[in-house]
Amino acid sequence: DQQVKQNSPSLSVQEGRISILNCDYTNSMFDYFLWYKKYPAEGPTFLISISSIKDKNEDGRFTVFLNKSAKHLSLHIVPSQPGDSAVYFCAASAPGGAQKLVFGQGTRLTINP
């Protein structure tokens, strides 16, 4: 039972344009959402997060949007740069005192020059 889904395995975007990565979840108990970025042969690195009490969080070129009624979140990268080429994972956690993250399958983003 996949509680967090990233339905697009890959995405290709022109340098300078906007990249939009999507994530859907099924568990309404999730109250915190995170995006991680992963380069080959490295561990994921934290990018940005959002609490369920917000609908938007921005950090530089990265913005995460949360639509609780649709159980959907998205990551916007503007403008996209070649160094953004990586696999992006969304993750979610539910309240309970332990940070038990549930990850999506990942989306491979390729930024073309």
Partner 1 sequence: DGGITQSPKYLFRKEGQNVTLSCEQNLNHDAMYWYRQDPGQGLRLIYYSQIVNDFQKGDIAEGYSVSREKKESFPLTVTSAQKNPTAFYLCASSIGTFPDQPQHFGDGTRLSIL
Q: Under the rule (CB under 8 A), what is the footprint of partner 1?
A: 4, 6, 9, 31-32, 34, 36, 41-46, 49, 51, 89, 91, 93, 97-106
- Give dist(CA 50, CA 72) in Å, integer: 12
Whether the CB-CB separation of 98 and 35 falls below 8 Å is answered with no
The DSSP call for residue 28 is T
The letter for the amino acid at 24 is D
- Give dist(CA 78, CA 67) in Å, integer: 20
